[in-house]
Amino acid sequence: MTADWTEAPGTPAPALPTEPDFGTAVGEAVRVAARSPSSHNCQPWGVAWARGGEARAAAARAVAGAAPATAYAGGNGAAGGPGAPGADQYLVLALDRERRLRALPALHVEMLVSCGAYGQLLLRALGAQGWTVAGLRFAPGGLAEPSAAAWPWAAPGPADWPRTWAPLCAARLRHEAGGAVEDLRALRATAAARRTHRAPCRPRPVAPDVLDRLAAPTDTGLARDADVGVLHLTSDDDRAALAAFVARHAGRDFSHGPAWRETHSYLRFSAADAAARGDGFTLADLFGPLSRPHEWARRIALAPTTMRLLRHVGYPGLLARQLARIVRPTPALTVLSLTGTRPPTLADGVKGGARLADYWLGATAAGLVLHPISAVLQHDDLRHSLEDRFRIPGRAIFLSRLGHPGTEAAGVSGFPRSHRRPAHAPLRTI
Ligand SMILES: Cc1cc2nc3c(=O)[nH]c(=O)nc-3n(C[C@H](O)[C@H](O)[C@H](O)COP(=O)(O)O)c2cc1C
Question: pLDDT digits over 89-126, tens only?
Answer: 999 999 999 999 999 999 999 999 999 999 999 999 99
Residue 56 CA to residue 90 CA, distance in Å, equals 7
Q: Which residue has the higher pLDDT, 306 or 352?
A: 352
CA-nearest residue for atom 21, ligand 1, is: 41
Determine whether the shortest distance from the Cβ of 110 to ligand 1 is under 6 A. Answer: yes
Determine the atom of ligand 1 nearest the C-alpha atom of 280: 21
Please give the distance, rounded to the nearest whole angstrom, from the Cα atom of residue 358 to the centre of ligand 1.
15
What is the model's pLDDT at position 67?
54
User: Could you tell me if the CB of 195 is within 6 A of ligand 1?
Assistant: yes
Q: What distance in Å separates the CA atoms of residue 245 and residue 252, rounded to the nearest whole number?
A: 12
CA distance 333 to 399: 7
3-state secondary structure of 105: coil
Atom of ligand 1 nearest to the CA of 117: 31
User: Is the per-residue pLDDT at 147 higher than 80?
Assistant: no
**CB of 372 closer than 6 A to ligand 1?**
yes
| pLDDT score at 160 | 87
Banded pLDDT at 146 (limits 50, 70, 90): confident
Q: Check if the beta carbon of residue 326 is closer than 8 Å to that of residue 401.
A: yes
Mean pLDDT for the stretch of residues 217-241: 96
Q: State which ligand 1 atom lies nearest to the alpha carbon of 38.
A: 31
pTM here? 0.92
Q: What band does 82 get if pLDDT is binned at 50, 70 and 90?
A: low
Residue 315 Cα to ligand 1 midpoint, Å, equals 23
Percent of the chain with pLDDT over 90: 71
What DSSP state is assigned to residue 79? S
**Tally of CA atoms within 13 A in the half-sphere of 372 that contains its CB:** 22
Q: CA 143, CA 361: separation in Å to the nearest integer?
A: 24
Question: Is the pLDDT assigned to residue 127 strictly greater than 60?
Answer: yes
Ligand 1 geometric centre to CA of 375 (Å)? 11
Residues with Cβ within 8 Å of 430's Cβ and at least 6 positions away in sequence, in order, are 48, 49, 50, 51, 52, 55, 92, 158, 159, 160, 161
Structure confidence at residue 9 (pLDDT): 40
- Backbone phi and psi for residue 56, each to the nearest 5 degrees, phi listed first: -65, -45
Return the pLDDT at 383: 97
pLDDT at 408 over 60: no
Note the pLDDT of residue 185. 97
CB of 114 shorter than 6 A to ligand 1 = yes
CA 296 / ligand 1 centre spacing (Å): 23
**How confident is the model at residue 15, as a pLDDT?**
38
The CA-CA-CA angle for residues 411, 355, 331, to 5°, reads: 40
Give mean pLDDT, residues 347-354.
98
Average pLDDT, the chain: 88
Please tell me the predicted confidence (pLDDT) of residue 81: 55
pLDDT tier at 12, thresholds 50, 70, 90: very low
- The verdict on the CB of residue 147 being under 6 Å from ligand 1 is no
pLDDT (0 to 100) of residue 253: 85
Average pLDDT of the residues in 233-247 = 98
Give the distance (Å) from ligand 1 centre to CA of residue 257. 20
Per-residue model confidence (pLDDT) at position 414: 67
Helix (H) or strand (E) holding 317: helix 315-327
35 CA closest ligand 1 atom index: 27
